Structure 1
């Protein structure tokens, strides 16, 4: 069943929650970062930050995280070592910032934000799952994941930071959306957080292992992913 005028679409890949009063009660609405992004041109500091991030990511992907020096990053970005330290602290801080930017890019889909009003909840979840799966299979994602996992194994504090900043927000966004659907009678979800974790496991669980191992013949296509999603949709009676 189609629903017009809805703005809490997961298809928009929301980045934060906006609590609004609706019909005398508080209603959670998940909004896209597109609605929050400032329209002003980037400041000089922001441009320098982006230049350093672009240079660092290019070098990390080209020659590896461990083999890339800060001096090389500064040379390619046209910045200074002092600015790099001021913005990121160290090379690990750069890797974290690259990972955060990657996550934010996936949550901000400007081209899709206007095409969500007519989608059902089932279509929203399927579209979300398809995009996340495709995202995990890109060469850029594979390289970044390998770097993040390698550094996480070396430094537990870094691993926890990546988990908090990349994985937890996705769980919170899905949990808020599932809670809203349950409150509106559009799903029977008794534990939104557990349901959010289950959905992410279905979508990226073994897909991440296949991606990291380079097992391209094991990657899921959309039909296979829909098959996996069907028990989830049926169990929680998502309409």
Structure 2
């Protein structure tokens, strides 16, 4: 076995220490952490979790394996940190949905804003790459990786919308039996087959996106019965 594979195997088997979290870092340490996470993002998306080499990551980031171990514990710890960083970058904008009601938006306006934001973020190259990475992973850590992605992405998005819908129910604006399920249903109506098409490299026009959001909001709020 090569030295590279020996090092990767060692790092895969190392268990993170309780104090392995990157806390209390100096500005120089934060910059080093960022370089490692950026390099990890590139390598994981290019090669997948199982094939990704920590040596390759550190070659791109600069630094030693001991630094990686000190900051992230092991390869899985590094992946988790990369996933959290990427998810925050892609999905943090959804936090704003909590302010929709305070701004006085109607449900129609709030849902359309949310729908357009969903397509903008979910169909971004970064999000598509992350989804491809997770869906195609065949490593021994597959269940953990997919659970992490679900929590950081789909579940996080859905919780924000569900909270908004529950607020509308409590205010007597909407009648929904299960706001969590309703949120997922709305999001799936908006996405349609767009995410699959993006995974296959197919283009999606602005006109298609606009129509998808408008029709999803109409169906969600008013149903398909002629009014």
What's the secondary structure of 1:108's corresponding residue?
Answer: helix
Distance 1:160 1:192, change over 3 A: same
Alignment partner of 1:224 is 2:212: yes
Alignment partner of 1:147 is 2:133: yes
Matches within 5 A, 1:7-156: 44-61=28-45, 63-65=46-48, 68-109=52-93, 117=103, 119-151=105-137, 155-156=142-143
CA drift at 1:71: 1.6
| Correspondence for 1:23 | none
Distance 1:94 1:188, change over 3 A: same
CA drift at 1:232: 0.4
| Greater displacement, 217-226 / 71-80 | 217-226
Distance 1:179 1:153, change over 3 A: farther
| Correspondence for 1:193 | 180
What's the secondary structure of 1:144's corresponding residue?
Answer: helix
| Correspondence for 1:9 | none
CA distance in 1, matches of 2:51, 2:168: 48
CA drift at 1:106: 3.3
More helix per residue: 1 or 2?
2
CA distance in 1, matches of 2:113, 2:26: 31
- Aligned-pair Cα RMSD in Å: 3.1
CA drift at 1:42: 7.5
What is the aligned counterpart of 2:196 among 184, 209, 233? 209
Post-superposition CA distance 1:109-167 (Å, at most 9, x none): 49x89x96253332121111112112222222222211111126762232223223332
Number of positions where the alignment pairs a residue of Structure 1 with one of Structure 2: 192
CA distance in 1, matches of 2:68, 2:123: 30
CA distance in 2, matches of 1:152, 1:206: 24
| Greater displacement, 169-178 / 217-226 | 217-226
CA distance in 1, matches of 2:53, 2:139: 20
CA distance in 2, matches of 1:227, 1:42: 50
Preserved contact between residue 153 and residue 159 of structure 1 (Cα < 8 Å): no
Preserved contact between residue 100 and residue 166 of structure 1 (Cα < 8 Å): no
Structure of greater Rg: 2
CA distance in 1, matches of 2:220, 2:74: 42
Residue segments in structure 2 that go unaligned for 5+ positions in a row? 1-24
CA distance in 1, matches of 2:192, 2:73: 32
More strand per residue: 1 or 2?
1
CA drift at 1:189: 1.6
Alignment partner of 1:161 is 2:144: no
